[in-house]
């Protein structure tokens, strides 16, 4: 196989699996209202289907990124694909809500193995100028999956059952894994090599990190006495965040750290990942709240809701190649991110002023603007981030990038859900009968998203100004 053909094979293999995982994630969100009714759980509790997946992914991302650097990114990536398939099957046949959460846990372990090494594989096989294009193509596949997810998920939920959202992953992902076998030959590894590396790694740091992440999102299961829902969530979020931060401090001084100190002490790298965190934090607000607004409040059918939500991903798909070409020039990347974050901020203002009689056009424009913002933010920012580390650290840097991306989504979903329902005490399901009470609560939530977008914009402007002054 020629170098060009191999590069194309790598792009297609990575993109195809990104498509499947994006399809699955987008479909799940649209199915939550139906799943809540099927298992007779509250709308707030049903979001744990998404949360468990995100939390598990966050816990294992850095570990599998390190494993990719030490052993082989290809091997970890391929193994993750098969674990993802097993998790999809378990979720699809789950007999109860607990079974769904267990299946999602397994599925997320596989996703973590894949996500932690995808960007590292791109970084290894593509030079700086080509890397932006490869990342853009990968973003295109993700966008196609995100587009298909709401529409296909809504259609499947309406005609068949939410279970088929997971079961359909199985044959599609198996076909992709056979293609990946050709694109990513597995290196020869012995159990002796694996055992030797396993003895040397910083398991204490991984344990502290895992405890911290789980604590951050434990408010969905544990309520401390004397605290309301929102205060309870903030206590766990802040407490878990402190423990998580301590795990990074412990790892920095460990004999064999998970994260190379060069990465943790690279301020520009951490600034870039912070921008990504805030962008994903903001974007998750609409991702988790819109299905309930569209289906339970307006109400649209799951199929129509899926098509409406898919508008964001359609815009991202159309813009990704254009943004990728622009981002091939390193000097343009910070300016592109600035444009993206400004568009993201405006979209959140639009969401904040959604009303009870919103026409389709009024509902759509913030979603479309949101897509423009994310398209202009993600690829250039990822290119900046991965260009700040040496190739031998690409695996852990890519996993850190995925970590901040995923934890931004997880924190955003947890915060938006808890903050909304804290303003609606006693409410189990969103209904039209809530009237302006619901609209006011939703508006306050999106005001927070506006503030977070502004902070991200300020950080990026500061990063751009600092970079210019150092030239």
391-411 pLDDT, tens per residue? 666 666 777 777 788 788 878
17-51 pLDDT, tens per residue? 877 877 777 678 777 777 888 888 877 778 788 87
Residue with the bigger pLDDT between 4 and 61: it is 61
- Ranges 7-11, 27-31, 267-271, most confident: 267-271
Of the listed ranges 80-84, 249-253, 257-261, the least confidently predicted one is 257-261
Q: What CA–CA distances, in Å, run from 458 to 323, 405, 448, 452? A: 21, 19, 16, 10
Token representation of residue 466:
């600092």
Residue with the bigger pLDDT between 169 and 258: it is 169
Q: Rounded CA gap, 35 and 237, in Å?
A: 26
Q: Is the pLDDT of residue 106 over 80?
A: yes
Query: Quick check: 305 and 150 in contact, CB under 8 A?
Result: yes
322-357 b/e (C-beta count within 10 Å ≥ 16 → b): ebbebbbeeebbbebbbbbbbbbbbbbebbbebeee
HSE (side-chain half, CA atoms, 13 Å) at 410: 29
Residue with the bigger pLDDT between 350 and 18: it is 350
pLDDT, the chain, mean: 79
Query: What's the confidence (pLDDT) of residue 187?
Result: 62
**Per CATH, which fold does 3-201+258-470 belong to?**
Growth Hormone; Chain: A; (1.20.1250)
SS (H, E, C) the chain: CCHHHHHHHHHHHHHHHHHHHHHHHHHHHHHHHHHHHHCCCCHHHHCHHHHHHHHHHHHHHHHHHHHHHHCCHHHHHHHHHHHHHHHHHHHHCCCCHHHHHHHHHHHHHHHHHHHHHHHHHHHHHCCHHHHHHHHHHHHHHHHHHHHHHHHHHHHHHHHCCCHHHHHCHHHHHHHHHHHHHHHCCCCCCCHHHHHHHHHHCCHHHHHHHHHHHHHHCHHHCCCCCCCCHHHHHHHHHHHHHHHHHHHHHHHHCCCCCCCCHHHHCCHHHHHHHHHHHHHHHHHHHHHHHHHHHHHHHCCCCHHHHHHHHHHHHHHHHHHHHHHHHHCCCHHHHHHHHHHHHHHHHHHHHHHHCCCCCCCHHHHHHHHHHHHHHHHHHHHHHHHHHHCCCCHHHHHHHHHHHHHHHHHHHHHHHHHHHHHHHHCCCCCCCCCHHHCHHHHHHHHHHHHHHHHHHHHHHHHHHHHHHHHHHHC
Q: Which residue has the tokens 């950080």?
A: 459
Looking at the chain, how many residues does it have?
471
Token representation of residue 248:
């990074």
Q: Which residue has the tokens 């901040």?
A: 404
Q: Rounded CA gap, 105 and 247, in Å?
A: 22
Between helix 48-70 and helix 3-38 the angle, nearest 10°, is 150
Residue with the bigger pLDDT between 33 and 171: it is 171
Q: Rounded CA gap, 97 and 306, in Å?
A: 23
Query: What's the confidence (pLDDT) of residue 287?
Result: 81
Confidence of residue 471 (pLDDT cuts 50, 70, 90): very low
Q: How many CB atoms lie within 10 A of CB 365?
A: 13
Q: What are phi and psi of 300, to 5 degrees?
A: -100, 160
Token representation of residue 83:
């674990």
Token representation of residue 270:
């951490």
Q: Is the pLDDT of residue 150 over 70?
A: no
Token representation of residue 437:
């009470």
273-293 pLDDT, tens per residue? 889 999 999 998 888 888 778
Q: Is the pLDDT of residue 224 over 50?
A: yes
Q: Rounded CA gap, 284 and 286, in Å?
A: 6
Q: Rounded CA gap, 280 and 268, in Å?
A: 19
Query: What's the confidence (pLDDT) of residue 235?
Result: 86
CB within 8 A of 288, min separation 6: which ones?
Answer: 29, 47, 50, 412, 413, 416, 417
Q: Is the pLDDT of residue 346 over 80?
A: yes
Between helix 394-422 and helix 97-125 the angle, nearest 10°, is 140
């Amino acid at each position: 196989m020629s170098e060009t053909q191999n590069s194309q094979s790598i792009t297609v293999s990575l993109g195809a699996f990104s498509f499947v995982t994006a399809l699955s994630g987008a479909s799940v969100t649209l199915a939550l209202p139906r799943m809540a009714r099927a298992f007779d759980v509250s709308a707030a509790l049903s979001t744990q289907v998404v949360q468990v997946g995100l939390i598990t992914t966050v816990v294992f991302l850095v570990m599998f990124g390190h494993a990719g650097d030490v052993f082989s990114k290809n091997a970890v990536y391929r193994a993750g694909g098969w674990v993802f398939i097993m998790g999809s099957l378990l979720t699809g046949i789950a007999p109860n809500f607990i079974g769904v959460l267990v299946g999602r846990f397994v599925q997320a372990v596989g996703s973590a193995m894949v996500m932690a090494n995808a960007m590292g594989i791109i970084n290894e096989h593509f030079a700086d100028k080509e890397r932006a294009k490869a990342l853009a193509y990968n973003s295109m596949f993700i966008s196609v999956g995100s587009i298909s997810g709401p529409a296909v998920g809504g259609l499947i939920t309406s005609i068949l059952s939410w279970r088929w959202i997971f079961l359909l992953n199985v044959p599609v992902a198996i076909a992709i894994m056979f293609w990946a076998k050709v694109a990513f030959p597995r290196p020869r590894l012995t159990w002796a090599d694996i055992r030797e590396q396993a003895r040397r790694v910083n398991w204490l740091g991984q344990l502290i990190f895992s405890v911290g992440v789980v604590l951050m999102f434990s408010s969905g299961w544990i309520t401390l006495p004397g605290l309301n829902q929102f205060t309870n969530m903030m206590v766990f979020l802040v407490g878990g965040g402190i423990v998580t931060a301590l795990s990074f401090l412990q790892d920095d001084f460990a004999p064999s750290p998970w994260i190379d100190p060069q990465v943790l002490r690279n301020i520009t790298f951490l600034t870039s990942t912070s921008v990504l965190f805030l962008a994903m934090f903001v974007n998750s607000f609409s991702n988790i709240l819109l299905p309930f607004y569209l289906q339970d409040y307006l109400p649209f059918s799951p199929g129509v809701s899926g098509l409406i939500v898919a508008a964001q991903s359609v815009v991202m798909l159309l813009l990704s190649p254009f943004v990728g070409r622009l981002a091939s020039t390193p000097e343009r990347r910070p300016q592109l991110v600035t444009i993206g974050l400004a568009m993201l901020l405006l979209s959140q203002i639009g969401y904040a002023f959604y009303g009870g009689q919103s026409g389709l056009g009024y509902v759509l424009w913030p979603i479309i603007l949101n897509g423009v913002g994310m398209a202009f933010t993600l690829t250039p920012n990822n290119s900046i981030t991965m260009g700040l580390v040496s190739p031998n650290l690409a695996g852990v840097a890519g996993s850190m990038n995925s970590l901040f991306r995923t934890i931004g989504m997880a924190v955003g979903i947890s915060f938006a859900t808890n903050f909304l329902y804290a303003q609606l005490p006693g409410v189990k399901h969103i209904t039209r009968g809530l009237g302006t009470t619901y609209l006011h609560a939703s508006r306050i939530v999106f005001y927070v998203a506006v503030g977070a977008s502004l902070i991200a914009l300020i950080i990026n402007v500061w990063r751009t100004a600092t970079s210019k002054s150092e030239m």
